[in-house]
Structure 1
Amino acid sequence: MNPIAPATAPTSRAKNKTVAAWLAFLGGPLGLHRFYLYGLGDWLGWLLPIPTALGIYGIERVQQLGQDDQLSWILIPMLGFTIAGCALRAILYGLMDKQAWNAHFNPGAASDAPAGGTRWTTIFAIALSLMFGATVLMASIAYSFQHYFEYQVQEARKISQ
């Protein structure tokens, strides 16, 4: 040990690609993957629950006020797009190359460190994220457009009468 060399700070734990993919898929709308990768100081992680909460509020409005509530037409897709975006982020994390993952999220580790490796559980996270994210995205788009066009038809009827 060289007494002249500066003491190195303890390194943080390696960020695991599989854990990040599952957190993005399961807890992404709450920002859990952002907190895991970037820490509690990540402002985007703190912003992610806002559209999630607004979307849940939109669902509650539909249950209380019915399908004709126009504000829910905007709020519910916010939840769907947030879920779909987090599912996409899980897919991107899972498909990231080991060397690129370690270079970006584990800069102090070797480029072939096992934390950036792809496992079967990573593949399952990718597959489920693809299926669930695409379903939620298409449902959100269909819900928004259906209600928008129904509203346009109603307004056209009012004008024609």
Structure 2
Amino acid sequence: MTTTHRNKTIATLITAIFGSIGLHRFYLHGAKDVWGWLHFISLPLSLLALAIWPTQQKLFLFAPLLISALIAILEALITGLMPDEKWDLRLNGGSGKKSESTWILAVIIVLTVGVGAIGLIGTIARTFDLLFTGGSYG
């Protein structure tokens, strides 16, 4: 049985941009993927928390979505840095095609590292501000 070929560059790009809502998991594993639905549920859960507690700090209300986004950044790096042979063995076993990564994948990985570092440092800084000063710096 022939399966569809999953492109590693597209999967990495989807993971980096839409990973916090689980779109990459649905692209790679289909609609029955539990981890994809856990990523997806983080957005309505965060919006529900905002509706219930509108006066709370937004960092805590959107924590499920933020955690999902940071996990997605890590998944994008894991996906992008995986060797093509291992990628084909794991996800393209029956497709009959071989993956060939190009420089575009390297650019996506570098940008993902930058965005991930900024997001992680910003999250840590804001969390310490809220926990130790009560949010007096903004």
Query: Is the Cα–Cα contact under 8 Å of residues 90 and 125 in structure 1 kept in the other structure?
Result: no
Q: Which of the pair has the greater relative contact order for Cα pairs under 8 Å at 6+ separation?
A: 2
Choose from 10, 32, 38 the match for 2:29: 38
1:118 CA displacement: 1.6
TM-score by length of 2: 0.82
Aligned residues: 136
What percent identity do the matched residue pairs reach? 31
Q: Could you say which residue in structure 2 is the equivalent of 1:18? A: 9
1:29 aligns with 2:20: yes
TM-score by length of 1: 0.72
1:114 aligns with 2:98: yes
What secondary structure, in the 3-state scheme, does the structure 2 residue paired with 1:48 have? helix
Give the letter for the 1:139 counterpart. G
Give the letter for the 1:105 counterpart. L
Gaps of at least 5 residues in structure 1 are 1-8, 152-161
1:96 CA displacement: 0.6
Instruction: Select the structure of larger CA radius of gyration.
Output: 1
1:109 CA displacement: 4.7
Gaps of at least 5 residues in structure 2 are none
- Deviations for 1:47-89, whole angstroms, at most 9, x for unmatched residues? 1022234445667899x63xxx25x342234333322221111
Query: Is the Cα–Cα contact under 8 Å of residues 22 and 40 in structure 2 kept in the other structure?
Result: yes
Query: Is the Cα–Cα contact under 8 Å of residues 21 and 42 in structure 2 kept in the other structure?
Result: no
Q: Could you say which residue in structure 2 is the equivalent of 1:52? A: 43
Query: Is the Cα–Cα contact under 8 Å of residues 56 and 79 in structure 1 kept in the other structure?
Result: no
How far apart, in 2, do the equivalents of 1:59 and 1:85 lie? Answer: 22
How far apart, in 1, do the equivalents of 2:107 and 2:51 lie? Answer: 32
For residues 1-161 of structure 1, the aligned pairs below 5 Å read: 9=1, 11-55=2-46, 65=55, 69-70=56-57, 72-109=58-95, 113-115=97-99, 117-151=100-134
1:22 CA displacement: 0.4
The root-mean-square deviation of aligned C-alpha atoms, in Å, is 2.7
